[in-house]
Amino acid sequence: MQPAMCVTLSWDDGHPLDSRIADMMSRHHLRGTFYIPRTAERGTMRAAQIRELSQTFEVGAHTLGHVVLTRAHDRRAHEEIFGARKWLEDITGKPCLLFCPPGGRYAARHVRMVEQAGYCGIRTVELLSLDWPRREGALLSMPTSVQAWSHDARSYLQNIAKRRSFRNLWRYLAHGRAADWPELSRIVFAEARRQGGVFHLWAHSWEIEDCRAWKRLDDVMRFLADRRHETPALTNGEVCGVGAPRSPAFAAWTNFDSTTPIVHS
Ligand SMILES: [Zn+2]
């Protein structure tokens, strides 16, 4: 049974500070997905740390070398997409079903490569969405709600215009202009409770460090945790499993407990 709404979190780049994020999530009993490249500009976790993280959280791919696909030749993009899955599965011993393109940039040919590599879903950087995963070819495409980062108006409007999403535009005009990301998280979460959908918070741990936002992140996680009894917290893959139950890869994989209370608007 699909709940009326759920909460999921995701973290990009595999920075060593992701372990601090994982500790915070564990403390608040929240679930989510870490998208980890082998190397990135600001450093990444060692294989042993990734293996340990994968015992508790879902791990998804983010290319091998944190490569923006639209800036790479096709052969390189192919290697980055295929290689990242094998590299992570060798480390974790678990299937890697989700891929997140660095910078959120990809083209239709990359979607085909992601599908051929055996992934089942893509996490995008679409902001201000409460949608359940959507079909994109044979894949599921997963938008986000809020990034734990204080974007300016231009960034939000570019993000919205790229996708021509009137619902996201309405959400920005109604809530986004005056709110910083912790407040926006609370407002958009409340909207998800009213109308249903997926509240998806994402960020980079290194951004949280740069902005000295650990306390604010902890406050937002506590806010989400305090509502867990009526709003299930899932990994990105589990959201795909309950949001698109006809997708066998995710349906077989999810351990979502269908007895979790359903939120009524
Ligand atoms: Zn990244």
Read off the tokens for 33.
């997905």
pLDDT tens for residues 99-141? 999 999 999 999 999 999 999 999 999 999 999 999 988 899 9
- Cα 249 to middle of ligand 1, angstroms: 25
pLDDT tens for residues 58-115? 999 999 999 999 999 999 999 999 999 999 999 999 999 999 999 999 999 999 999 9
pLDDT at 153: 87
pLDDT at 124: 96
Give buried/exposed letters for 117-144 (b at 16+ CB in 10 A, else e). Answer: bbbbbbbbbbbbbbbbbeebeebbbbbb
Looking at residue 256, its amino acid is F
- Cα 43 to middle of ligand 1, angstroms: 11
Domain 5-253 has CATH 3.20.20.370: yes
Residues 6+ apart with CB under 8 A from 211: 149, 150
pLDDT at 163: 87
- Cα 2 to middle of ligand 1, angstroms: 30
- Cα 4 to middle of ligand 1, angstroms: 30
Instruction: Tell me the CA distances in angstroms from 88 to 23, 47, 78, 82, 99, one per residue in order.
Output: 21, 9, 16, 10, 11
Looking at residue 72, its amino acid is A
Give the Cα separation of 113 and 15 in Å (integer): 26
Confidence of residue 251 (pLDDT cuts 50, 70, 90): low
Q: What is the mean pLDDT of residues 131-156?
A: 92
- Cα 106 to middle of ligand 1, angstroms: 13
- Cα 101 to middle of ligand 1, angstroms: 7
Which comes out higher in pLDDT, residue 253 or 263? 253
- Cα 9 to middle of ligand 1, angstroms: 15
Looking at residue 92, its amino acid is T
What is the overall mean pLDDT for the chain? 90
- Cα 103 to middle of ligand 1, angstroms: 6
- Cα 235 to middle of ligand 1, angstroms: 18
pLDDT at 264: 29
- Cα 229 to middle of ligand 1, angstroms: 32
